[in-house]
Amino acid sequence: MGFPLVLCLLNFASVVFAHGYIKWVGVDNKLWPGFNPHVDAAIKAKRISFGQSYSNHPRYAPDNVLRSDIACGSHNVPAGAQAPARAGSNITFGWSTWPITHNGPIMTYMGRYSGDVANVNVNEIEFFKIGELGLLPDNVTWATNVLTANDNVTSATIPHDIIPGNYIVRHELITLHFATEDSRYYDAAAKAKGAQHFITCFNIKVTGSGKVQPPGVKFPGGYKPRDPGIYFDLYRNITPYPIPGPPVYKPSGPAPVLEDKPYEIVMPVGNLVEDIKYFNNMYYQAWKWDGQTYKRNYDAIHGWEDGPNKNLTRACTAADPCLEDIGGSNPSYGL
């Protein structure tokens, strides 16, 4: 199956979540599927991402940054696979569609760990920042605007001088539309004031001959509720915008020239027949979300699986892909 076609199929899942999630991630020219909780949990898929048990909707209370899930998202499940990556290579993140009103910075961190990833306490990992983008010099364009203009793709480079070994990549998008004191702009009923953090972690193994262990920060601990870049009124604050967290680590010396590698694709299941069923299932879920959530105007802050009326909302699964709104039979997933 060709590289563009796989991306096209993965795009079917872009409306599964109210805000956004990582559909795919490219690590050193190898394309890995993101974690789709409505299918992947049911088939016990092994992904390089830390899986979410349901839609990764954010918390947006002022003390959000003090919660344990600020490290790798809510209800995260350790990654079941690991992506190899050469020091100095790129990591590319393919996001789903993103709301134009949800603006803020995008940052990427890495943190080294030892042992089995299943036993790692992500709150004890020391993360160093490898990439960031906030408000551009025009004082109008945000990192999220750049993301959507670039077909919802962003990337970061693995420092070429770091110690080889096991790492967790922490990719974070922060939206600031509720980080305001002005009640006209936040959800007064929910008293939601504070930044929203969309975080996904990935499991990679870095190869190379580097010797550096960059200093890092732990999460929680890397941010404070009143940090200027966290509690920032994008409607009225005077720029420039201070990106939260530590500065980006800058590797020393010239980067080595890496040998070109051909693109590789990791299919969601690894079996052609079941992969077709997988993409078919994702397609129907996308229609379910569009038909049930947006047309009925549910609160888009919540996923259907955690919506305000649990009697009218539910998660699609492999056994029940939620087809009654669009007709057709239930295609058995067969796993």
pTM check: above 0.75:
yes
Structure tokens at 184: 């006209």
Buried b (16+ CB within 10 A) or exposed e, 16-38: bbbbbbbbbbbbbbbbbbbbbbb
Per-residue pLDDT at 215: 98
- Secondary structure (H, E, C), the chain: CCHHHHHHHHHHHHHCCCCCCEEEEEECCEEEECCCHHHHHHHCCCCCECEECCCCCCCCCHHHHHCHHHCCCCCEECCCCCEEEECCCEEEEEECCCCCCCCCCEEEEEEEECCCHHHCCHHHCCEEEEEEECECCCCCCEHHHHHHHCCCEEEEECCCCECCEEEEEEEEEEECCCCCCCCCCCCCCCCCCCCEEEEEEEEEEEECCCCECCCCECCCCCCCCCCCCCCCCCCCCCCCCCCCCCCECCCCCCCCCCCCCCCEECCCCCCHHHHHHHHHHHHHHHHHHHHHHHCCCCCCCCCHHHCCCCCCCCCCCCCCCCCCCCCCCCCCCCC
Give the closest residue to 94 by CA, choosing from 244, 248, 202, 236.
202
Judge if the upstream peptide bond of residue 240 is cis by omega within 30 degrees of 0: yes
- CATH tag, 20-255: 2.70.50.70
CA distances from 240 to 11, 103, 108, 205, 232 (A): 34, 15, 20, 36, 11
CA-CA distance, 207 to 49, in Å (whole number)?
Answer: 19
From its phi and psi, is residue 222 left (phi > 0), alpha (psi between -120 and 50) or beta?
alpha
CA distances from 306 to 61, 113, 159, 311 (A): 17, 33, 39, 11
pLDDT per residue rounded down to tens, the chain (335 residues): 444 444 444 454 444 444 577 889 999 999 999 887 667 777 778 899 998 755 455 555 557 899 898 999 876 788 999 999 999 999 999 998 788 888 999 999 999 999 999 999 999 999 999 999 999 999 999 999 999 999 999 999 999 999 999 999 999 999 998 787 666 655 555 555 678 898 999 999 999 999 999 999 999 999 998 899 998 888 877 778 999 999 999 999 999 899 999 989 998 888 888 888 777 766 555 444 343 333 332 233 333 223 333 333 344 444 444 433 322 222 222 22
Q: CB neighbours (10 Å) of residue 140? A: 10
Per-residue pLDDT at 205: 99
CA distances from 237 to 132, 220, 240, 242, 297 (A): 20, 26, 9, 11, 31
CA-CA distance, 249 to 251, in Å (whole number)?
Answer: 6
- Domain residue ranges in the chain: 20-255
Per-residue pLDDT at 98: 84
